[in-house]
Chains A and B, each alone.
Chain A
Amino acid sequence: MIIRGDEPEQIRLLRKLYKPGNYFMQGNEAVAYGALFAGCRFYAGYPITPSSEIAETMARELPKLGGYYLQMEDEIGSIAAMIGASWTGFKVMTATAGPGFSLMQENLGYAVMTETPLVLVDVQRSGPSTGQATKGAQGDFFQARWGTHGDHPIVAVSPTSGQDAFWEIIRAFNIAERLRTPVVFLFDGVLAHTRELIKIPYVDEVEITYRKLPRDEEEAKLPFGDPHGDGVPPMPLFGHGYFTHVTGSTHKENGLRDVYTPEVHDRLVRRIHRKIEKNREVYEKYEEHFTDDAEILVVSWGVTARPALGAVLKAREAGIKAGLFVPKTVHPFPGERMRELGKRVRAILVPEMNLGQMILEVQRFVNDDVLLKGVNKIGGVPLTVEEILREIRGVA
């Protein structure tokens, strides 16, 4: 009775429940509805501000679609239950904030190592620690990348508005399923609670993917191999008589643990990295405005991309050749494009609601002769068009 989300019965229910059109809702709700359109039918979570509305919306809507909402005893249990359910065939999601994300790191690493598709929404809030629980921030950029231990790749996406969140969560699910990997969805407390006009599309406008399943018994025997050369093994789900063995320990292609042979570990971890590195076209996405002739480039992400665009537009009006680069998939960072753009400009500004995190990624790809400056604001209030414009004028 596994629900993939694209069965005729599911399409019928989606059409009946969610009529296309304009709605007034908060970012969190847009994320939840996007997930439902993406085929998510299992949510295990734990409440934490400012993400709780996602859980509440899922709790209300999932039963209508025959899906499951579980409120677990803590965040660790949440991601654990998600991984268990993913191996039975469900598309799974949880939503949390900074402190909960910290708790989930161990099992996130487990999902990377066992190549379990899942989507983890982190609604960032002021940290560190309890911080400003109800205020948005962008301080988890590197927690998403390196929060869990060991050599591991990760894919993380970050929308720039509530409407964008609806489509980006669908994209996150598709990446997770296509590459058999966990995907982190970096949201924030500002977008989460901002109510705006959100357009819900026709069900047919949404394209969703499901994970690669074994075509025969032979393929099912290698749940951690590379039979098709793209680095993505087929996933022999539980309950089909495959006798699949899944472990977080270093394992061979057939799933059985082997911690004694160095080559086994090398091969496994490198293949997991290669799976992400070599499949860029699956996840790489960025937006650009006025970059053709820009002399000053603003690089931004998430909620800050909006005032950044406003500032760039105003700068252009004032005759300044400013441009905007917004990575939508923030990990892996679109380094190649960054390098190209970095060669053409003389100054780069990186506005973020933190003390400078994405700027370190930008720095990796641009030369020292480019002026690189962060526009950093913490305290829970988003950067304004004026604040960013002032910085642009400052380097113009």
Chain B
Amino acid sequence: MPEIYSKYPMVKYLRKEALPTALCPGCGGGTVLNAFANAVDQLKLDPRDLVVVSGIGCSAWIASPYFLADTLHTTHGRAIAFATGVKVGLPDKKVVVISGDGDLASIGGNHLLHAARRNIDITVILVNNFIYGMTGGQVAPTTPFGAKTTTTPYRNIEHPLQISETIAAAGASYVARWTTAHVYQLIESIKKALTVKGFSLVEVISQCPVQFGRRNRMKEPAEMLRWFLKNSVPLAKARKMKPEELEGKFVIGEFVHRQRPEFTEELNKLIDEVQEHFGLKGGDDV
């Protein structure tokens, strides 16, 4: 087990035997891990009350195995479905999904949509680096129009999916989008997402300098961070802009924050009603 010299207090939330992380130098995923640890710390959450679920991809490696909690590393795209089973089985624990845009919104799009519709009380931190990073940099449903990737070597002819807007419409209780450059707002947003009862999504625009940045003239992580800062538009302002003006921009902010009936609560309420109806409660009549 390596000795960790860092004096950063958040290190206590990490699985030390797995460090240093396998993430590339400058990967935004590391910043998300940092923000998540800060959020857990500021909320005074005990990691024993957390279960973290992830899928396949670089972003799925953020919490698994690096975050010290019960961690479930699943098959590609299915993290949210696994998390649904975990949450129903352990309704008192906080179930968090930390995974990538390809994993959760491409192959796993169906599960993301229905978890939002069900409004199940899980927190999804969707790390959007708009590329399939781990497999070498192929185009993703979130890749900007015109960008170069290994499978769009000329230019991308598709337009990216607006994940936050879509999931807000599907019924989520809390949806926000930030970038890794907006790290303070990100921490506050994750705290809120963990606290809200119902389905919460925090979409984090994150830099992948090695697969995306390098092929699109931004090979330094800091260059990508500056690009995020320059092209971020707060939601209030974006609502007044025209679609053409928003092309290539990141709309950041909190999209939705509302109360809706939550799935595990409704499920347990139903069980109660059924047992009441059939006279199954109590234990005096064996």
Contacts and interface: CB of A to CB of B under 8 A. Distances in A.
B65 A64 contact: no
Contacts, number: 144
Given A42-B88, A243-B68, A63 B275 contact: yes
A89 B111 CA distance: 23
A87 B86 contact: yes
A246 B63 CA distance: 12
A249 B55 CA distance: 11
Interface in B33-71: 47-48, 51, 53, 64-65, 68-71
A238 B70 contact: yes
A86 B90 CA distance: 11
Interface string A214-258: 000000000000000000000000110111111111000000110
B69 A247 contact: no
B65 A68 contact: no
Interface stretch (A70-78, A182-190, A269-277, A375-383): A70-78
Of A42, A44, A68, A238, most buried by chain B (CB within 10 Å of CB) is A238
B84 interface: yes
A79 B51 CA distance: 19
Nearest to B79: A80
Contact of B270 (A63, A86, A246): A63
Interface stretch (A9-17, A18-26, A163-171, A345-353): A9-17
A175 to B, nearest CB: 21
Nearest to A89: B89
A300 to B, nearest CB: 36
A78 B78 CA distance: 10
B148 interface: no
A247 to B, nearest CB: 4
Contacts of B267: 68, 70
Nearest to A78: B81
Contact of A76 (B73, B78, B270): B78
Contact of B110 (A2, A74, A92): A74
Nearest to B93: A239
Nearest to A63: B274
B285 interface: yes
Contact of A110 (B53, B74, B110): B74
Interface in B87-117: 87-91, 93, 110-111, 113-114
A256 B18 CA distance: 8
A173 interface: no
Interface residues of B, number: 44
A107 B78 contact: yes
Contact of B73 (A16, A17, A85, A248): A248
Contacts of A73: 110-111, 113-114
A21 to B, nearest CB: 18
Given A13-B280, A70-B84, A77 B78 contact: yes
Nearest to B78: A80
Contacts of A87: 72, 86, 89
A133 interface: no
A12 B285 CA distance: 8
B285 A81 contact: no
Contacts of B90: 88, 238-239
A9 B73 CA distance: 34
A257 B21 CA distance: 13
Contacts of A74: 110
A36 interface: no
A131 interface: no
Contacts of A246: 71-73
Nearest to B47: A243
A83 B17 CA distance: 27
A247 B64 contact: yes
Given A77-B110, A81-B82, A246-B73, A241 B48 contact: yes
11 contacts: A9-B283, A42-B85, A63-B274, A63-B275, A64-B275, A80-B75, A82-B85, A87-B89, A110-B74, A238-B51, A256-B18
Interface of B: 15, 17-18, 47-48, 51, 53, 64-65, 68-75, 78, 81-91, 93, 110-111, 113-114, 267, 270-271, 274-275, 278, 280, 283, 285-286
| Chain A to chain B: the 7 pairs with minimum beta-carbon distance, closest first | A84-B85, A88-B89, A80-B81, A81-B85, A247-B73, A85-B85, A77-B81
